[in-house]
Amino acid sequence: MQLNGHIDKMQTSLAGSLAQYHLLFDDKRVDMNSLVGSPIELSFNKTIQCANCGRITPKSYSQGYCFPCARSLARCDLCIMRPETCHYHLGTCREPDWGLSNCFTPHIVYLANSSGIKVGITRKTNTPSRWIDQGAISALPILEVKTRLESGLIEKALKSFITDKTNWRVMLKNETEPADLVTAKASLLAEVSSLVDELDAKTFPADVVNIDYPVLKYPTKVVSLSFDKTPVISGVLNGIKGQYLLLESGVLNIRKFSSYHLTLST
Ligand SMILES: [Zn+2]
């Protein structure tokens, strides 16, 4: 098989407890799980096309955009990374309509075990993809709120007690220890109970979601691959976790290369 096109981050879903990965090459969709265990080659054709305006850009900004779009799109604004700094109410949202439909929708605050227990937030409709993208082996939604800003305020408060980061090397080497998310949920909710009341956040009656990944062999040493340095990357695909392809030759963060024009050969 050989096909090419501009890629996006892998589409993720759960089948039972197994993470499923699909990679888009423009309008062609490849089942990546089926390639695990086989040699593959990905080559960068030296073209990056902005995911928003379609312009060819010499460099990718904000994971797949040209410089002007990265400066003007709300989804590339700092408040997306730090939702507690939402500035819609000041009338300064870069794209108020986009903000209304993406940030003023139900969001959840969750715990996930990616390299240890972490806190995170996401749109309610974005689970379990968000957890798979982070390589979490388990996740538990804990609160539902009405807006991204409110989820950010709760996350910020919880960050006094727990990290919001993943150690991606630990995650990729599969050195994550099992963790009791239910017990952690109870103690963390107690710490932020007044804020939960103030924001009228709903506690989430969900169960822990366990996630397995299609991996035959984890790396013992993590070597990061990049199309900017090595235009042709090949090797046996040992597995997929988070947004990473685990190749015999190293790990490739697919998300970082969104909008790159690639050819896949199997
Ligand atoms: Zn653009």
pLDDT, mean of residues 128-149:
97
pLDDT at 20 > cutoff 90: yes
pLDDT, mean of residues 7-32:
96
CB-based contacts of 206: which residues, under 8 Å, 6+ apart? 140, 141
Given a contact cutoff of 8 angstroms between Cβ atoms, the answer to whether 34 and 150 are in contact is no
> For residue 205, what pLDDT band results from cuts at 50, 70 and 90?
confident
Mean pLDDT score of the chain: 96
Given a contact cutoff of 8 angstroms between Cβ atoms, the answer to whether 215 and 238 are in contact is yes
Ligand 1: centre distance to CA 28 (Å):
22
Which residues are close to ligand 1, an ion, with C-beta < 5 A? 50, 52-53, 55, 66, 69
Q: Where are the domains of the chain?
A: 2-58+214-265, 106-210
Ligand 1: centre distance to CA 71 (Å):
9
Predicted TM-score (pTM) of the model is 0.94
Q: What H or E segment, with its residue span, contains residue 234?
A: strand 232-241
Ligand 1: centre distance to CA 68 (Å):
6
Question: Rounded to an integer, what distance in angstroms lies between the CA atom of residue 74 and that of residue 52?
Answer: 12
Amino acid letter for position 154: I
pLDDT at 243: 98
